[in-house]
Structure 1
């Protein structure tokens, strides 16, 4: 795929960026996961939801089926759900600063989410304002149940972007469109995430930011996927500035993340077997 073709089919390539930041939405850009928040408070509750997360991490159930079960437990009219989330979900206190830096430095931000696009766009508009339109959002969808309206009790359900995939939204598909670009036009790819919805993305970028104390770190350690730890977006902003300015490399950042995990500084207990150095699938050099 040439540069012109890439720009036409991949919106984030229109400005020929050298770096692109892909990110999960729920619990990564925001302080709370909106889907977990609905499930815990107006769905079947935190205990069952958390067990579903653990079962997914342990590969007892795929993410798509676990997530559908969660969303099916939320029966309030869809418009009420959106308003409930707008009233309660908060932005990471440093994300807006990161986003303004990204806009100023030609680092497109692409949201890859297992949540629902209309929810994400409504929350971004509320939390960030008009500039949120400059962020590409790829997620799942919402549809009315047969014979019902989405704005009545029990009237809506999730519609998966990739229903044939066990992920529901296989984030690796979008990421590979960028990672497979010719070397002279392929950007350096960052990704930030926190949980089981990010498993399909974990191996697909040059530098993975995994949120401290969350399930994505457990997965990366178990599967030997390189990552660096972040606590909030101030950490991400600082590290991205260093890389974009040539002060460090994605390889160095990943090595430091692994060292932080082994030292018990990643918010999860290091596994006894987690001693091997992770090997990155892609070896894109800066």
Structure 2
């Protein structure tokens, strides 16, 4: 019966599609000392994921062009994701980082995603005397912790009658992995342990070819 039902893949970006965390790369390139401080505060529980992104990206003092150039020079993706797109599967990218991180990185690979395909935070570049970057959260979770409500994204598609597949790797994905119809977890990441400990059925994947194979079966 399920084959007659429409299905959608909701896919995290950092460490799931990309090989490195794109926000970390931007901070490492332009604000390495501040990144250490932020990371320390996040680990100590003083900052939420939303605050890490807000203060991190807000500290960069670079133009939009420099921002995209940094991503394209330093962030690589799992190139089997290109085959996944070509397969015609319906998908959206759901990221706690920023929409520009996703779109800017993927452009290098000839993937031009419209805003409607990326559920993420928006950036405003106010370049007067200094290049000020402001993070806006159009998909804010109720507690304001993650910045993007990935769980709600899954539930919205379930309400529309979709079979939902969530693909992720880390803490901002946990709530979405719990409510999706099926979970795919990047091999060797923290989400593997989370799914095991919480009795969530999942497929541990090494690349997107394996997900396409699974889907065929």
| TM-score, normalising length: structure 2 | 0.82
- State the Cα distance separating 1:96 from its structure 2 match: 0.9
Mapped partners of 2:42, 2:216: distance in 1: 33
User: Which of 39, 62, 80 is 2:27 aligned to?
Assistant: 39
What do the CA deviations read for 1:142-169 (whole angstroms, capped 9, x no partner)? 124xxxx247645112112217522111
User: Aligned pair count?
Assistant: 211
- Partner of residue 24, structure 1: 12
1:85 partnered with 2:62: no
Instruction: Tell me if 1:159 matches 2:136.
Output: yes
Distance in 2 separating the partners of 1:203 and 1:151:
44
* Greater displacement, 159-168 / 77-86: 159-168
Q: Name the structure 2 match of 1:216.
A: 191
Partner of residue 143, structure 1? 124
CA contact (8 A) 1:63 1:196 kept: no
Q: Distance in 2 between matches of 1:222 and 1:54?
A: 21
Superposed, 1:37-186 pairs within 5 Å as: 37-44=25-32, 47-48=36-37, 51=40, 54-55=43-44, 61-101=47-87, 103=88, 107-130=89-112, 132-133=113-114, 136-144=117-125, 149-150=126-127, 153-161=130-138, 162=140, 165-181=144-160, 186=161
Describe the shift of the 1:226–1:215 C-alpha distance in structure 2 as closer, same or farther (beyond 3 A): same
Superposition RMSD in Å: 2.8
Contact 1:78 1:152 in 2 (8 A): no
CA 202–61 in structure 1, closer or farther in 2 if over 3 Å, else same:
farther
Q: Tell me by how many angstroms 1:201 deviates.
A: 1.6
Distance in 2 separating the partners of 1:127 and 1:30: 12
Structure with the larger RCO, 1 or 2 (CA within 8 Å, 6+ apart): 2
CA distance in 1, matches of 2:193, 2:56: 22
Is the radius of gyration larger for structure 1 or structure 2? 1
**Structure 2: 5+ residue stretches without partners:** none
If the length of structure 1 is used for normalisation, what is the TM-score?
Answer: 0.64
CA distance in 2, matches of 1:138, 1:219: 23
2:182–2:202 CA contact under 8 A, matched in 1: yes
